[in-house]
């Protein structure tokens, strides 16, 4: 075998050949390298919490059966120390030749970093105080035939980290932590809603009309119906149909898809949380948003204090509410309001190097001026309220200013995190707004909306006053996990196909 060039080297190919030969040898010797199951009595985390406080050099008679992946081996000859990783927690195995016997010890010596094992033994601490299991019996649970990344440096090549997320998660604790935050945030949302008697629902991802947001959809096709369908760009319109139906507090957490550019803040598929509550308006929804985010922070991080762009921020402190026209006016230095003429606003935009297109009306220009002057500076969580009617076709007009809406967006770290409003429930007014959307779309603004007749029919049955909310879960998780790229908190971000 040593003459075989494939096994004499130590490149990846040779390494796989060597380990596959080991698999064959184990089977030939009557040991199954991929057994079906293993009985464990404790997770590693449970062992750590139950025995974590023992003094150095302690021996117990407490028997445990634990399992995990070997991520580190220190072989001192007749005594082997191996570190196993079990669901993010590490534990040392203390494997003595005198305890396990010569035959079993030979098996231990043949183990590779990356192999999955289950062991039976007693809990102890070493002289140095390291909590360990003194192994009496060891079972190989799955042979690894591909070497893990560097034990010290881990995996740093971002391409490989995202493509081989499985390897990233094994060797990079930071990567694991970011996803723990993500999943704790989502669990926290569910708990907050459950406590408020909301019902979690599931609505279609395949839409006939891609409505509820301004974005370009992914198109797909149903074969047997021979029908064009779109992947949803928002959840909104279906959830409000449920409000019409009398489900007066609903939420959904799910994927939405937008066929647009990819960046550190954008992935083509991302997770949206939307909720709707009958009898509430946008002020109630802002309160709900604060509660959701604060609970998410304390559930995911154990604190409401986070570092954002170098600033220490306590999310438990009240978040300022500022109107968009006020912020845009401050940013520009004169009064900016959708009541001003298109020509005036366009001149102002041009004077401030803000891009503008001929099709945009005063409302869109106001919003662009706000974004250009103010958006990036909103580091601390801030509710920006009163978006122009023109850019908010599903939001109800402000009770005091008919040109803007009762809408807010939550900004933090210069990014939009959430969006909510007093929902427009007047079917006649909604039809007018849809017609404006359709007209703009027909005039070439591809991301504008269409007339959703079924939604209008639902509104005609009558929708109670309703407050709605959408939270970009990925953006919020980025904020709480303190990462600058959305790819750090999406397990499998969209990438170009790998070349094999």
Contact 165, 96 (CB under 8 A): no
Shortest CB 191 distance to RNA, Å: 26
Contact 465, 271 (CB under 8 A): no
Q: Which is nearer to RNA, 90 or 299 (CB)?
A: 90
Shortest CB 140 distance to RNA, Å: 15
Give the Cα separation of 107 and 290 in Å (integer). 56
- Whether the CA torsion 106, 110, 113, 118 is positive or negative: it is negative
| CA-to-CA separations, 141 to 31, 118, 245, 454, in angstroms, rounded | 11, 6, 52, 55
Q: Which is nearer to RNA, 130 or 401 (CB)?
A: 130
Q: Which is nearer to RNA, 90 or 283 (CB)?
A: 90
Cβ-in-10-Å burial (0-12, 13-18, 19+) of 399 comes to exposed
Q: What are phi and psi of 318, to 5 degrees?
A: -60, 145
> Which 5-34 residues touch RNA, going by CB under 7 A?
8-12, 14-15, 18
Shortest CB 400 distance to RNA, Å: 21
Shortest CB 37 distance to RNA, Å: 27
The DSSP bridge partners found for residue 405 are 397
Candidates 150-158, 196-204, 283-291, 342-350 — which segment interacts with RNA by CB under 7 A?
Answer: 150-158
Shortest CB 103 distance to RNA, Å: 14
> Which 426-485 residues touch RNA, going by CB under 7 A?
447, 484-485
Candidates 146-154, 195-203, 306-314, 452-460 — which segment interacts with RNA by CB under 7 A?
Answer: 146-154
Query: What DSSP line would sit under 368-414, residue for residue?
Result: HHHHHHTGGG--S-EEEE--BGGG-TTBPBPSS-TTBBSEEEEEETT
| CA-to-CA separations, 301 to 307, 361, 414, 471, in angstroms, rounded | 12, 44, 21, 19
> Which 212-241 residues touch RNA, going by CB under 7 A?
212-216, 234
| Strand, coil or helix: 327 | helix
Shortest CB 340 distance to RNA, Å: 20
Give the Cα separation of 211 and 74 in Å (integer). 58
127 binds RNA (CB under 7 A): yes
Core vs surface per residue 10-42: b (16+ CB within 10 A) or e? eeeeebebbbeebbeebeeeeeebeeeeeebeb
Residue corresponding to tokens 């939009």: 416
Candidates 24-32, 239-247, 318-326, 492-500 — which segment interacts with RNA by CB under 7 A?
Answer: 492-500
414 binds RNA (CB under 7 A): no
Lookup: tokens for 271: 């997770």
Lookup: tokens for 240: 């409000």
329 binds RNA (CB under 7 A): no
76 binds RNA (CB under 7 A): yes
130 binds RNA (CB under 7 A): yes
Q: Which is nearer to RNA, 295 or 407 (CB)?
A: 407
Residue in 23, 89, 147, 436 binding RNA, rule: CB under 7 A:
147
Shortest CB 348 distance to RNA, Å: 17
Shortest CB 268 distance to RNA, Å: 10
Shortest CB 123 distance to RNA, Å: 13
Residue in 37, 153, 221, 399 binding RNA, rule: CB under 7 A:
153
Shortest CB 244 distance to RNA, Å: 19
Q: Which is nearer to RNA, 337 or 475 (CB)?
A: 475
Q: Which is nearer to RNA, 9 or 245 (CB)?
A: 9
| Strand, coil or helix: 98 | helix
> Which 365-404 residues touch RNA, going by CB under 7 A?
387, 391-394
Lookup: tokens for 429: 């007014």
Residue in 172, 188, 275, 419 binding RNA, rule: CB under 7 A:
419
Residue in 263, 303, 339, 377 binding RNA, rule: CB under 7 A:
263
Lookup: tokens for 391: 């850019």
Q: Which is nearer to RNA, 140 or 184 (CB)?
A: 140
Q: Which is nearer to RNA, 41 or 156 (CB)?
A: 156
CA-wise closest residue to 272 among 478, 154, 418, 97: 418
Lookup: tokens for 323: 């109107």
Residues 6+ apart with CB under 8 A from 361: 338, 342, 390
Query: What DSSP line would sit under 117-180, residue for residue?
Result: EEEEEEEEE-TT--EEEEEEEEEEEE---SPPSBTTTB---HHHHHHTHHHHHHH-HHHHHHHH
Residue corresponding to tokens 């220490």: 312
Give the Cα separation of 419 and 471 in Å (integer). 6
Cβ neighbours of 355 (radius 10 Å): 9
256 binds RNA (CB under 7 A): no
Residue in 29, 30, 77, 462 binding RNA, rule: CB under 7 A:
77
Residue in 207, 258, 337, 475 binding RNA, rule: CB under 7 A:
258
Q: Would you give the binding string for RNA spanning residues 289-318, x where CB under 7 A is met?
A: ------------------------------
Q: Which is nearer to RNA, 9 or 35 (CB)?
A: 9
122 binds RNA (CB under 7 A): no
Shortest CB 149 distance to RNA, Å: 4
416 binds RNA (CB under 7 A): yes
Contact 175, 488 (CB under 8 A): yes
> Which 155-194 residues touch RNA, going by CB under 7 A?
155-160, 162
């Amino acid at each position: 075998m040593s003459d075989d060039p494939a096994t004499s080297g130590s490149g990846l190919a040779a390494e796989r050949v060597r380990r596959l030969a080991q698999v064959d040898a184990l089977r030939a010797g009557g040991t199954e390298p991929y057994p079906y199951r293993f009985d464990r009595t404790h997770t590693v985390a449970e062992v750590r919490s139950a025995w974590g406080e023992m003094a150095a050099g302690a021996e117990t008679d407490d028997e445990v059966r634990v399992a995990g992946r070997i991520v580190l081996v220190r072989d001192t000859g007749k005594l082997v120390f191996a570190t196993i990783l079990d669901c993010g927690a590490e534990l040392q195995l203390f494997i003595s030749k005198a305890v396990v016997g010569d035959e079993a010890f030979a098996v231990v010596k043949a183990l590779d970093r990356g192999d999955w094992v289950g062991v039976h033994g007693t809990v102890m601490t070493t002289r140095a105080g390291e909590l360990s299991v003194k192994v009496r019996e060891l079972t190989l649970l799955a042979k690894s035939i591909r070497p893990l990344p560097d034990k010290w440096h881990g995996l740093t090549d971002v391409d490989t980290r995202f493509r081989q997320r499985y390897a990233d998660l094994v060797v990079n604790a930071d990567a694991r932590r970011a996803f723990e935050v993500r999943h704790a945030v989502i669990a926290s949302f569910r708990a907050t809603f459950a406590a408020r008697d909301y019902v979690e629902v599931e609505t279609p991802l395949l839409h006939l009309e891609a409505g509820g947001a301004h974005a370009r959809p992914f198109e797909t096709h149903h074969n047997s119906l021979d029908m064009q369908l779109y992947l949803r760009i928002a959840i909104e319109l279906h959830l409000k149909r449920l409000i019409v139906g009398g489900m007066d507090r609903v939420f959904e957490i799910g994927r939405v898809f937008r066929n647009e550019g990819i960046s550190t803040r954008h992935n083509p598929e991302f997770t949206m949380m939307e909720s709707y509550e009958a009898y509430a308006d946008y002020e109630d929804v802002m309160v709900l948003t604060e509660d959701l985010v604060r609970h998410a922070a304390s559930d995911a991080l154990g604190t409401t204090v986070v570092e954002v762009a170098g600033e220490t921020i306590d999310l438990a402190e009240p978040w300022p509410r500022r109107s968009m026209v006020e912020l845009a006016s401050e940013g520009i230095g004169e009064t900016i309001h959708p009541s001003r003429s298109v020509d005036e606003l366009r001149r102002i935009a041009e004077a401030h190097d803000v891009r503008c297109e001929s099709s945009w009306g005063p409302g869109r220009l106001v919003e662009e001026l706000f974004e250009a002057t103010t958006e990036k500076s909103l580091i601390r969580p801030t509710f920006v309220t009163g978006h122009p009617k023109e850019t908010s076709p599903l939001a109800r007009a402000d009770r005091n200013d008919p040109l803007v809406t009762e809408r807010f967006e939550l900004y933090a770290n210069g990014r939009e995190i959430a969006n909510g409003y007093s929902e427009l429930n007047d079917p006649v007014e909604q039809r007018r707004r849809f017609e404006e959307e359709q007209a703009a779309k027909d005039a070439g603004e591809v991301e504008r909306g269409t007339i959703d007749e079924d939604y209008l029919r639902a509104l005609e049955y009558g929708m109670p006053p309703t407050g709605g909310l959408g939270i970009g879960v990925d953006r919020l998780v980025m904020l709480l996990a303190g990462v600058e790229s959305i790819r750090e908190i999406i397990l499998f971000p969209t990438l170009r196909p790998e070349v094999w």
